[in-house]
Amino acid sequence: MKEFPIIETERLLLRKIEQHDAHAIYSYFSDDDVTRNYGMSTFTTIEQAEKLILAFDMMTLENKGIRWGIVRKDTNELIGSGGFHNVSGPYKRCEIGYEIAKKHWRQGFATEALHAMLSYGFMTYNRIGAIVLPENNASSLLLEKNGFMREGLLRNYIIQDGVARNGYMYSILKEEWVI
């Protein structure tokens, strides 16, 4: 990838995550309500956010995925992130993931960001999957409302805080995607 792609929607700007975003990332990844259904441990230090940003950079540099910062255009506030991981270029497939800070839930930002990322992704990929913890009803509903199909249950798929957790596998195919 030569230049990091920037995506603009009506209310959002999806852009590269920079080290100066560490405090915003820490603020929502240190919230148990956000991480509970995310499949990772809650952050306890700002350094964890800084390392996550470096991991996002490496993922992009190694063509293993891409992660955008989700920024509200009206406030210029980073409210979450989203993007593609587990990329398999030869098979034209990947998985999508996202999170939004709790104070921005239920305002349509996740839907708006998801649409933008899917439109971008289907320029390259034929299949986009998603893994959702069964308890995460909001994410399951978001995916289903946007054309994803639940394919099955992945047993003990995620280890979070030492506990094995199941995950639902969702997917949408390029020919199923309708803007």
**Contact assessment for residue 112 and residue 11, using Cβ atoms and an 8 Å cutoff:** yes
| Under 8 Å between Cβ of 41 and 160 | yes
Classify 7-176 by CATH class: alpha beta
Instruction: Output the six-digit token pair for 11.
Output: 């209310």
Q: What are phi and psi of 152, to 5 degrees?
A: 165, -175
Tell how strand 127-132 and strand 93-100 pair up: parallel
pLDDT tens sequence across 36-61: 888 789 999 999 999 999 999 999 99
pTM reported for the whole predicted model: 0.94
pLDDT in tens, 105-143: 999 999 999 999 999 999 999 999 999 999 999 999 999
Dihedral, 3, 14, 68, 118 alpha carbons, nearest 10? -100
* 78, burial (CB in 10 Å: exposed 0-12, middle 13-18, buried 19+): buried
Q: For residues 95 and 98, give the distance between their C-alpha atoms in angstroms, rounded to a whole number.
A: 10
Q: What is the average pLDDT across 9-20?
A: 97
User: Other C-beta atoms within 10 Å of 26: how many?
Assistant: 19
Task: State the Cα–Cα distance between residues 177 and 18, nearest whole angstrom.
Answer: 31
Residue 13, helix vs strand vs coil: strand
Which sequence spans correspond to the domains of the chain? 7-176
What single string gives the DSSP state of each residue in 80-132? Answer: EEEEEEEEEGGGTEEEEEEEE-GGGTTSSHHHHHHHHHHHHHTTT-SEEEEEE
Higher pLDDT, 101 or 178: 101
More confident residue, 178 or 65: 65
In the block, tokens 């955008």 appear at: 68
